[in-house]
Structure 1
Amino acid sequence: MDASTDLWIFGYGSLMWQPGFAFDEAKPARLVGAHRSLCIFSNHWRGTKEQPGLVLGLDAGGSCRGVAFRVAAERAHETRAYLHERELRNYVYREVMRPVRFEDGSREVALAYVADRRHHQYAGRLTREERLALVSQSRGEGGPNRDYVINTVTHLRHIGVCDPELEWMAERLGSEPCSMAAGGRLLG
């Protein structure tokens, strides 16, 4: 990456509501080729080794609406170092550069974290009921897994997205249903 170029980062889960880095701009964006999925076992932030939780990953296929953050070039290196420590702790994600499209039709290439299906923490083969059971019972250093799902749903709704799978789970965890009348669009 050119040191004089701003860095775009695609957030689809907790990066949307807790980025942890300074940014100059944030706007809704769509990444094509991967979808948001509770497909990563968490044995630290949202669970333990004895009672793992689940966190989101970008899994192969489909598309994902989230938020793209623009970081000024002079902060790009330190931001990548922070994200490397945060997202690549167990290397369950692969760091990739992927094109994203904004609502106005413009495009940028953004840093994104996709699930590594070969990693032992990949949980993409669980049924939705198995995922719900793990999320409802687990807690880690970052708090209850339930809160992670509900915070993500809340922030998706804020950008006009009603993700059907996460909505299903959030409703069972005690969140109010998404109101399509409020302008939410189905599809993650």
Structure 2
Amino acid sequence: MEQFWIFGYGSLMWRPGFDFLRSEPARVHGYHRSLCVYSYVHRGTPEEPGLVLGLDRGGSCHGMAFEVSPANWEETIAYLRAREQVTSVYLEKRKSITLIASGRKVEAVAYVVDRAHRQYAGVLDDASLEHHVRSGKGVSGDCTDYVMNTLSHLRDMKINDPALERLARRLEVQAASRSS
């Protein structure tokens, strides 16, 4: 029987929004999690873009794999395309991922950033990251909430993401200095 898997590395890990048979920690090689996508809809606007995560080239990324029932596959993919492809900044790819507990490799759909897309932010310096995260507000809420919620779930999963940790410290320090 064919298996159907989705790989989540950002909000899909903690808010998949689709029915699944099981989920388990997984890793994809050749890509890393990065705040490299200007958000024009969910966490920002074209006038004041926020930032959201993308899978960008290089390294590896720990995330969550979701096995989807074959009976729900078409509905799940339609939902994910509507959610993830609002502005077509991601490429829907089938990637080999490793299920951490068993070491087994499976094929999964993953949304990889399109580096040729106008919303690809690339590697931003700390000040630019902080600016876009602080100012980004879109139909799904504040960009700061998105970053901190993702980081909280990564911590719960025992996934260390040094770049998000560094950004969170900057956000927390700035918030503390504004309230004093």
Q: TM-score, normalised by structure 2?
A: 0.92
Counterpart of 1:80 in structure 2 is 77
Counterpart of 1:181 in structure 2 is none
What is the CA-CA distance between 1:172 and the residue it aligns to? 2.1
What is the CA-CA distance between 1:158 and the residue it aligns to? 1.4
Alignment match of 1:166 (pick from 151, 164, 167): 164
1-structure distance, mates of 2:136, 2:88: 21
More helix by share: 2
Alignment match of 2:63 (pick from 62, 66, 75): 66
Asked if 1:33 corresponds to 2:30, the answer is yes
Counterpart of 1:184 in structure 2 is none
What is the CA-CA distance between 1:17 and the residue it aligns to? 1.0
What is the CA-CA distance between 1:39 and the residue it aligns to? 0.4
Q: Which runs of 5+ in 1 are unaligned?
A: 176-188
What is the CA-CA distance between 1:173 and the residue it aligns to? 2.2
Deviations 1:79-132 (A, max 9, x none): 001111111111100000001112221111110000000000000132122111
2-structure distance, mates of 1:90, 1:49: 11
CA contact 1:7–1:110 (8 Å) conserved in 2: yes
Counterpart of 2:115 in structure 1 is 117
Paired positions, count: 172
1-structure distance, mates of 2:51, 2:94: 24
Counterpart of 2:125 in structure 1 is 127
Q: Which runs of 5+ in 2 are unaligned?
A: 174-180
CA contact 1:5–1:72 (8 Å) conserved in 2: no
Write the letter of the residue equivalent to 2:45: T
Write the letter of the residue equivalent to 2:162: P
1:131-146 alignment runs, 5 A limit: 131-146=129-144
1-structure distance, mates of 2:168, 2:30: 25
Deviations 1:128-187 (A, max 9, x none): 221111101221111110000011111111111110001111222239xxxxxxxxxxxx
Counterpart of 1:108 in structure 2 is 106
Write the letter of the residue equivalent to 1:17: W
Alignment match of 1:57 (pick from 50, 54, 61): 54
What is the CA-CA distance between 1:49 and the residue it aligns to? 1.5
CA contact 1:30–1:63 (8 Å) conserved in 2: yes
Q: Secondary structure at the match of 1:23?
A: coil
- Percent of aligned pairs with the same amino acid: 49
Alpha-carbon RMSD: 1.2
